[in-house]
Amino acid sequence: MNSLDIQGHRGCRGLYPENTIDAFVHAAKLGVNTLEFDVVISKDHKVIVSHEPFMSHTICTAPDNKEITEETELDHNIYDLDYAEIKTYDSGSKYFDRFPFQKKIKTFKPSLADVIQEVSKLSRDIFFNIEIKNRPEWDTKFHPPYRQFADLVISEITNLGIFERTTVQCFQIPTLQYINQNYPQTKLVYLIDNLDTPIENLNKLGFTPHVYSPFYKLVNKSLIAFAEANKMQVIPWTVNDTIAMKDLIELGVTGIISDYPDKLINLHKELTS
């Protein structure tokens, strides 16, 4: 119980606008072990930190404060925008009712390089859990084909000097298989949102990942035992309730991904004091 990988989901989405430099800096100052976030690709092939490959109507405003609606959000395709254009969108000022206490800041979706530069001013020990946000139906329209997407991400984390402190996560099996075959030193995270058994999921994947990362309600004693037997870490997502956090810690998970890393840090201190 003494060791727990506390991961700030999209920085600290419950406290600051998701996937922004402000969120990552705040999470780092709170004392998270790992910053968890998603990446997509811009028109000029920059690795951009964003959960969607477009400007979501729930959190983004277009240049000149123009409203983005659910009907028009796909028109604001990040893969069609250069990084300079991406910076003209506001992704931190809009009220998000799922997170009513989230601080509002006028900001933009940053590049991975800019995130690492800012966080490195605070800590060179922090880890990164980076999700490649791709889908087969998005290939060539919202992002490059998955192999090229993976190449760009691995190249960037290598060039930024964070390869040893980074895990790469994905839901898409072909992406994980490609990275495992071509960049075998990469620590891979298999994201799980299905009801198949762990052995069924591993059989589909074809290799044993560094981390098995399921939706938190799928974690039980048998999963923990299976993971230990196969030398996998278990890091569930996304846990915001302190009772669930406590239950998972007692089950023996390696880490927890949360929108409220402050809650998780305080709980872990209580349990280990």
Please check whether residue 218 is in contact with residue 236, taking contact to mean a CB–CB distance below 8 angstroms.
Answer: yes
pLDDT digits (tens, 9 = 90+) for 57-116: 999 999 999 999 999 999 999 999 999 999 999 999 999 899 999 999 999 999 999 999
| pTM greater than the 0.75 cutoff | yes
What separation in angstroms does the CA of 5 have from each of 2, 17, 35? 10, 22, 10
90: left (phi over 0), alpha (psi -120 to 50) or beta: beta
Query: How many H helices and E strands in the chain?
Result: 9, 11
Domains of the chain: 5-272 (3.20.20.190)
Alpha helices in 78-172 (DSSP H): 83-86, 112-120, 146-159
Instruction: Using a pLDDT cut of 70, give the percent of the chain over it.
Output: 99
Question: Band of the pLDDT at 1, cuts 50, 70, 90?
Answer: low
Q: Provide the angle, in degrees to the nearest 10, between the axes of the packed helices 221-229 and 198-205.
A: 40
